[in-house]
Structure formats: structure tokens, C-alpha cells
Amino acid sequence: MKERVSRIYLTGFMGCGKSSIGLILANTLGWKFIDLDDEIIKSEKMSITEIFKIQGESVFRDIEARELHKMENSNRVIVALGGGAILRESNIDLMKATGKLIYIKASPEKIYSRLKLKTNRPLFQTADNLIMTKENAILKIRTMMNEREKYYLLADLIFSPEDYSIGYCVDKLRAILFKKYGIENAEN
């Protein structure tokens, strides 16, 4: 008999597709979708960029952990985590105890192509607020990904959507979740 799974956490670097895949997957399963960054923005009444700038990363990580713990009793939910939510051991422990953790893996080049036009991502700005060159931005993404990879690899499942349409990715991931964990639509 397959283990009953009622919560899925999606992790991976920013721009890998956690929110896009998570929202559509939740809709196809009839589950609730929660974007952890959106929950933080609602609770703090400021953007992630503002929180980082005004309060710093350490405070942001505290807020992130608090918001993650608020949903620990939710069922039939898919949670898109922020790219660094997995950096805290207590967050990993909570996710592993309450659901399945899926690493959405994308290449630095793919992430750059998805984020390069986003104005709300301070990742590509230099200290003097200039935009980085493509090469420098990809190098920065690669470096950050390498630092986080050991945490991402703690996931129960690694899924790489790289060059597929969002619909194909969701269908493929849904099939994997059914086969591996017996996850079906909410009616079943």
C-alpha cells in the first residue's frame, strides 16, 4: 500500500517554475495552491525585495519559517517555496515530516532566460544598481545554485522540466506522483 501524501512542497532556484507548475498541478488535482512568497508579502505588507533591503535576509528567513509553519496542518495542498526556504534545517525537517519535497531543477541558463526581464529580482543588480551582463548573471546563478544544491538534493523527488511546455510538465509530474505516491484528483 502506498503512503498517503496530502502535502507537496516544491523547491528549487528562483525562476525554475515552482509557482507555475505548482498552481496548474494543484488545479488538476483539485488541491489548494500556496505560494510561500505571496504569503510573506501578505503578512508583512511589503515586497520580498523591500524585506531584504530594510530588514535583511536573516529576518526574511525567520518570517519565511514562520509562514511555513502556519500551514503545517493543511491537507491537499501544494506549496511553492522561495528559492532559499530549504536553507534552514528546521524547514527541511517540517517539510519531510508533513509531506513530500520535490526539487524542480533547471539550468542556470534557463533560469537566466526566465528572469532577465524581471524588475523585481535584485539578483541581477550590482552594488551600484547596474544590471549585470548575461555572463556575470549566469555565473552568479550557477554559484548560488552550487551552494544550495546539497539542500535541494534532500528532496524526495527531482524533476527537471527544462525544455517542455508547462502543460506537459504538469502531466508528467502528475503521472509520477500517482505512480510513486498514489496521488490522484481530490474526488478520488
The DSSP 8-state label assigned to residue 65 in this structure reads H
Tens of pLDDT, residue by residue over 136-186, are 889 989 999 999 999 999 999 999 987 788 899 999 999 999 998 888 765
Q: What is the pTM of this model?
A: 0.90
C-alpha cell of residue 126: 550590482
The mean of the pLDDT values for the chain is 87
Tens of pLDDT, residue by residue over 87-100, are 999 999 999 999 99
Packing angle, helices 134-152 and 108-115, rounded to 10: 120
Tens of pLDDT, residue by residue over 57-67, are 899 999 999 99
C-alpha cell of residue 39: 504569503
The CATH number given to 7-181 is 3.40.50.300
| pLDDT surpasses 60 at 39 | yes
C-alpha cell of residue 41: 508579502
> What would the mean pLDDT of 60-83 be, rounded to a whole number?
91
In this structure, is the dihedral angle defined by the CA atoms of residues 104, 55, 124 and 113, taken in order, positive or negative?
positive
- What is the per-residue pLDDT for 188? 46
